[in-house]
Amino acid sequence: MNQDDTKYFTSANRLAWEEVAPIHRGHNQDRLIKAFGTPGFSCLDEIETAQLKALGVAGKDVAQVCCNNGRELLSVKNLGAARCVGFDGAQAFLDQGKELASVANLDVEFVCSDAYEIDAAYRNSFDIVTITIGVLSWMPDINGFFEVTSGLVKPGGAIFIYEQHPILEMVKPAGPDEPIFWELSYFHDEPYVETGGLDYYGGESYDAKPVTSFCHKLSDIFMAAIGSSLRIEDFAEYPHHISNAWYNVEKSDIGLPMCYTLVLRKSV
Ligand SMILES: C[S@@+](CC[C@H](N)C(=O)[O-])C[C@H]1O[C@@H](n2cnc3c(N)ncnc32)[C@H](O)[C@@H]1O
């Protein structure tokens, strides 16, 4: 995909993220303010916590690309990370993150930027870059995305990914008691437009701006990483659910992988 098309999709999606931010705030912010009032609070699950600790997160400079309201990055800071910088395209979510950082009394920098346009001043600045839960499918150009994120990592540093498994894109997201409806081929490679809004916390319907997402197969993700001078250091697939979408798959005994962790290492 060329840069103009990429910009077209990310700009349109950004408006939809800004639009839903106050709705998410209504569902989450009071609870998070209370949680981050407790020193050392972390919203990270055992798998992510263990992987970050194995990467030696304490004392490391960490960036999160597409950090949303910052709850995960603030948790990383509470694991002892040094400099923490969160990038996201939606200022309204970053404002929520700043409020949480203030409550938690944590020094975390939030930068509003399209992932493809992160300022060159941040190149080679981070020991660990994290990408988690619902990011890669918003990237129109997966190769370009890995080029940018690899550029943020210091030589010898790592990218840590904890994402929903792309095989889930085949299934229409639904509640736990709804049937599984196979919607897309795993090899679907056209932009996927939705108009139902982004309130995946409360399911509130509103007059939503359309959003466009993109199916990237695991092979696309691996090859994009390898093409950006990253080495696959660790990869694991898991049966548990980390998104806010496929409750029907989670409840079924169909046995699909639901998420994965991937550690990518940049050469020294
Ligand atoms: C599903 S959220 C995931 C965030 C986080 N892992 C979480 O669970 O809160 C996706 C985030 O990516 C951001 N985003 C999507 N496309 C982006 C882009 N091209 N550049 C920067 N941010 C983007 C959105 O604003 C949103 O905050």
Q: The domain spanning residue 203 has which CATH number?
A: 3.40.50.150
For residue 90, report the distance from its CA to the centre of ligand 1, in Å.
Answer: 8
Q: Categorize the per-residue pLDDT at 138 as very low, low, confident or very high, splitting at 50, 70 and 90.
A: very high
Phi, psi of 262 (to 5 degrees): -145, 125
pLDDT tens-digit map of 14-26: 999 999 999 999 9
pLDDT at 73: 98
Number of domains in the chain: 1
The residue whose C-alpha atom lies closest to atom 15 belonging to ligand 1 is 138
pLDDT at 203: 83
Mean pLDDT of 229-243: 96
If one compares 224 and 197, the residue with the highest pLDDT of the two is 224
pLDDT at 23: 95
- Do residues 210 and 195 touch, judged by C-beta distance below 8 A? yes
Mean pLDDT of 141-153: 98
Stretch (H or E) spanning 233? strand 230-238
pLDDT tens-digit map of 30-77: 999 999 999 999 999 999 999 999 999 999 999 999 999 999 999 999
Most informative mutation of 68, 74, 131, 145 for ligand 1 (most atoms within 8 A of CB)? 68
Mean pLDDT of 144-161: 98
For residue 67, report the distance from its CA to the centre of ligand 1, in Å.
Answer: 6
Mean pLDDT of 139-163: 98
Least confident among 54-58, 81-85, 191-195, 230-234? 191-195
Query: Which of 166, 192, 155, 175 has its CA nearest to residue 246?
Result: 175
Residue 128 and residue 57: Cα distance in Å, rounded? 8
Residue 177 and residue 175: Cα distance in Å, rounded? 6
pLDDT at 204: 82
Ligand 1 pocket list (CB less than 6 A): 10, 13, 17, 66, 68, 72, 88-90, 93, 114-115, 132-135, 138
The distance in angstroms from the start CA to the end CA of the chain is 30
Q: How does the average pLDDT of the chain come out, rounded?
A: 96
Q: Categorize the per-residue pLDDT at 1 as very low, low, confident or very high, splitting at 50, 70 and 90.
A: confident
* The pLDDT of residue 200 is above 90: no
Distances (CA, A) of 197 to 95, 205, 211: 21, 7, 8
- Structural domain for 10, as ranges: 3-266
Count the helix, strand and coil residues of the chain and give each as a percent rounded to the nearest 5. 40, 20, 40
The separation between CA 90 and the C-alpha centre of its own chain, rounded to angstroms, equals 13
Polymer length in residues for the chain: 268
pLDDT tens-digit map of 85-125: 999 999 999 999 999 999 999 999 999 999 999 999 999 99
> Which atom, in ligand 1's list, is nearest to the CA of 71?
9
- The position carrying tokens 């904890």 is 162
pLDDT at 253: 83
